[in-house]
Amino acid sequence: MAIQRTLILCKPDAVSRGLIGDIVSRFERRGYVIVAMKMMQLDGERARKHYGEHEGKPFFQGLVDFITSGPLLAMAVEGEEAIAGCRQIMGATNPLNAATGSIRADFASTIGRNLVHGSDSHESAERELAIFFQPSDFVSRKHDLERWILEK
C-alpha cells in the first residue's frame, strides 16, 4: 500500500450549510490525517486553474462561478491509498448515484452542489495541491499516520 497525499475541498455549499465538521470527521475517523488546511475565498484566476481540464466545456463557467461564490475549506489529506479512499468517502459525483453512507449520499442533493471535491489521480493531486498550498503550509503527521497503520 502506498502513502498518498490528496486535495479535499469543502465547497461553498458545505461551508454555508455548516457541514465542515461532519465532513472533516469522516476523513479523520477513517484514519486519514490532515497535513494542511485553510479556509479561503477562491478568486477567479485560481478557480480557472483548478478546473483547467474543463476549460472550453459548456459547464466550465458554472464551475468557476460556484467555487468562487463563497468561502471554501481546502485540506491536504494523507494516508494509505488516500486518493481512492477519500473519493470513496465522498461518494459518486452525482449524489443520486453515491453509495449509502458517503458524504454526497448523506448530505448532497444535486450534481452541481455536491459539497466536496477530491483529486482523482496522483497527477491531479500534485497539480491541485500546488494551486492551494505552498510547501511551507504542510506539517508532518508521520507519527499519527504510522500509529494508524500499526493499529490496522
Q: Which residues are catalytic?
A: 117
In this structure, the strands spanning 3-10 and 71-80 are antiparallel
Largest CA distance in the chain: 47
CA 64 to chain centre: 16
Question: Can you state the angle between helices 20-29 and 82-90, rounded to 10 degrees?
Answer: 140
Helix residue ranges, H only, the chain: 12-16, 20-29, 44-50, 60-67, 82-90, 103-107, 122-132, 142-151
Cα Rg, the chain, nearest whole Å:
15
**Which residue in the block uniquely carries the three cell numbers 490525517?**
33
